[in-house]
Amino acid sequence: MVGAFTPHAHAGHVPGRVVAQHRDGYEVVTDDGELRAKASGRLFHEAGNAEHPAVGDWVALSLDLVEHTATIHAVLPRRTAFVRRAADSVQTLQVIAANVDVAFVVTSLNADLNPRRIERYLAAAWQSGARPVVVLTKSDLANDPQGEATAIAALAPGCPVLVVSARQGHGLDALLAQMAQGETGVLIGSSGVGKSTLVNTFLGEDRMATHAIREADGQGRHTTSHRSLVLLPGGSLILDTPGIREVGLMDAEEGLSVVFDDIEHLIETCKFNDCRHDGEPGCAVRGALNSGALDPARWANFLKLSAELAAVEAKAERLAKDAERRRLAGLQKAYRANKKDARGGD
């Protein structure tokens, strides 16, 4: 970060980190304390959506200590980035957390528990560059929390799976131990799984608003209205995000390969390279499905997420080609206009 900031220091700017994002701006932490901030007009209009400041970003600032405000002039290069699709666009990236070391995939051991959703979150988490950790909350509500954890662990090879209960104080030390002092974690998961409750428990105060779970369907209401980075007593930081009901797979091919490594291996061992896994002889996937070694629901989710990723990539390619055609058409139009003007001047 120091080397990347050098040109901004020469411009008279100071470093800071974005710790909260609101609809009308940001909060940043600097050596002069916490300040409200807005992006400069140039940064706001010239940067792409994914280059706009996000919680966790290191930024270059100019300060107004009289008004206790700051202006963000640049976003420093990110080590990691957790992204989702913008609500109004299939192809547009929206960064929801930057420079994250650990991605906690949080789900509760009640009606919300959904292995297919966990696979989706894990693919996005691996793709972000952070270390994913699965956190199963509200273990006090489950009949067999360890059995559920064992089943989820089979979906996440090489990924810790922690069982916690904020109400009983169970498993919290193990969760905090996943982050070293100075590291940053992000809590991702659907609304009502207990993300804000975990933050409040760590802080020993009700910093984040929470709501009770509805008894009818086990779902919680959306409680966190903005993304915020919170300093924990042990010196690590945690980012609590609004509930994400749909994580888009943007350029997440590597993440899918990690989550579905077992299926990728089966595909590689099929007899034919162009196997469609639909009755061909020597199909390793069909063999695993028939023997019970591969869960049909897991295979179906792999196909679904792969198709989603392919569709996003195909649309992005079409949009890029359309943009290039428009650019070339504009150049040809300008060339013809210039040529016409040149003839008129002869």
The answer to whether the CB of 140 falls within 8 A of the CB of 168 is: yes
Q: Two tokens at 337?
A: 């206009």
Identical fold between 2-75 and 81-240: no
Mean pLDDT for all residues in the chain: 80
For the chain, give every domain's residue range.
Answer: 2-75, 81-240
Average pLDDT over residues 252-275: 79
Higher pLDDT, 16 or 298: 16
Q: Residue 82 and residue 252: Cα distance in Å, rounded?
A: 11
- Model pLDDT, residue 12: 93
Kindly indicate the confidence band of residue 314, based on its pLDDT and cuts at 50, 70 and 90: low
How much is the pTM? 0.68
CA angle, residues 153, 154, 157, in degrees to nearest 5: 75
Give the CA-trace dihedral at 272, 277, 278, 282, to 10 degrees: 50
CA gap 57, 100 in Å, rounded = 9
Given a cut of 70, whether residue 15 has pLDDT beyond it is yes
Residue 334 has pLDDT above 90, yes or no: no
**2-75 carries CATH number 2.40.50.140:** yes
The CATH architecture one would assign to domain 81-240 is 3-Layer(aba) Sandwich (3.40)
